[in-house]
Amino acid sequence: MPRPCLICTAPFDVIHFNVEACRACAEFFKRTVMSGRTYICRQGDRKCTITRSDSGKFMCRSCRYDKCVEIGMEYALPRRKLKRKKDGAVEENAAENPSTSVSPNTSETVQTPLLDRIGESLKEYYSRKLEKEYEYVAQQKLPRMPDHEELYVGNFNTFSDCFRLAVKESTVILKAFEEFESFPIDIRVTIYKNYASKFGFIECVYFTAKHFDQPTHQMLSLITCVEFAKLDQWIIEEKSTVKKNAIQSTVKGFGQDYSNLMGPMMKVEKLSEREFYALSGLCYCDVEALQLPDEIIKTAEITRAQIYEELQDYYQNELKLSDYSKRIGDLMTFIHGAREAELLTNEAIRTYATMYGLNAEDRLFREFFSD
């Protein structure tokens, strides 16, 4: 019969590290010991309540670790065996030791933090994508953006072409999430499309804010953008003046909607790189609205909790913040905006295709922006 964990009260039925603790608390304790990390109490008095209802996003790790020690949890680091070199000197090698937990097959490897893995994947992606974009800009002979010589003026064709490029290259990002490759192919496709639609907007705001203080422009890619006041540049190939005017009117309406959506996010404190990585992960986890199996939803919840845990460590130990509730709130504003932008983009693309025939036969666009 399950008993309550002496640390967080979650039910468990297998003893870990010789104490009555759940697997999650045991793994947390082991990771802390192996990494040598120290934590700062969120409240400062080392009296935070650690219960199952508090577990996940905002559990105080300092008090959680103290509770592990208090109830007698112990974890012995892997012993080192001595390897003698040819010259007689002795060299130390780490030898894996069986876990003191009675739960099977726990790994002794210190895992790279998830946000670090996301960051490395994003850097690889942007390195590939930037090279491709410069080739594209040269081929299309796009004009430079006035007052921003590092950027180029884009249009609907630019958006379409850079979107295809992003889809082709961005699958590398999801290799940061180790469980992703184990999902069935149909689940992976669904999660990827959901991720790409949401994170595309996060990227748009993040890179727009790097170049512009106000939502007067919108980045279409890493080096191309459009100015909201000059959306007549959006459609350049339409010959019919009447149809072109109608398209421009529709584009301006959606442009205003995007500007209104981006405005609040442009006003918040600029995101750090690590917060940007976290938003990438949170977009990946934002799957509750999808029709996915319960175990996939549960996996996403675990990943989300890990992201918040690493963010807490970042805010406390790197930024030295005692109160980071506003920054967490800002991230939630971005995620909400990404959901709204996904709906707005779907509506815009379907409108362009239905009313004006823009990309109406494009299979990729139909797959991403269908009802």
pLDDT in tens, 283-339: 999 998 888 999 999 999 999 999 999 999 999 999 999 888 899 999 999 999 998
pLDDT band at 109 (very low <50, low <70, confident <90, very high): very low
Which residue ranges does the chain devote to CATH 3.30.50.10?
A: 3-70
| Token representation of residue 219 | 């980045």
CATH T-level fold of 114-369: Retinoid X Receptor (1.10.565)
The continuous run of DSSP H or E covering 35 comes out as helix 23-35
Quickly list DSSP for 316-364.
Answer: IIIS--S--HHHHHHHHHHHHHHHHHHHHHHHHHHHHHHHH-TTTT-HH
Give the range among 91-100, 194-203, 211-220, 346-355 with minimum mean pLDDT: 91-100
pLDDT for 100: 37
Which residue ranges does the chain devote to CATH 1.10.565.10?
A: 114-369
Contact 216, 137 (CB under 8 A): no
pLDDT for 117: 95
pLDDT in tens, 152-198: 999 888 888 998 888 888 888 999 998 999 999 999 999 999 999 89
Provide the pairing of β-strand 11-12 with 3-4: antiparallel
Residues 6+ apart with CB under 8 A from 19: 6, 71, 72, 73
Question: What distances in angstroms separate CA 157 from CA 161, 250, 251, one per listed residue?
Answer: 6, 16, 14
Residue 314, φ and ψ in degrees, nearest 5: -65, -45
The answer as to CATH 3.30.50.10 being correct for domain 3-70 is: yes
Residue, of 118 and 17, whose pLDDT is higher: 118
Quickly list DSSP for 229-275.
Answer: GGGGGS--S---HHHHHHHHHHHHHHHHHHHHHHHHHHHSPPPPHHH
Mean pLDDT of 230-234: 73
Sign of CA dihedral 229, 126, 369, 297: negative
pLDDT for 102: 36
pLDDT for 16: 80
pLDDT for 199: 93
pLDDT for 97: 40
80 forms beta bridges with 94
Q: Which residue has the tokens 């104490």?
A: 19
CA 121/CA 117 separation, integer angstroms: 6
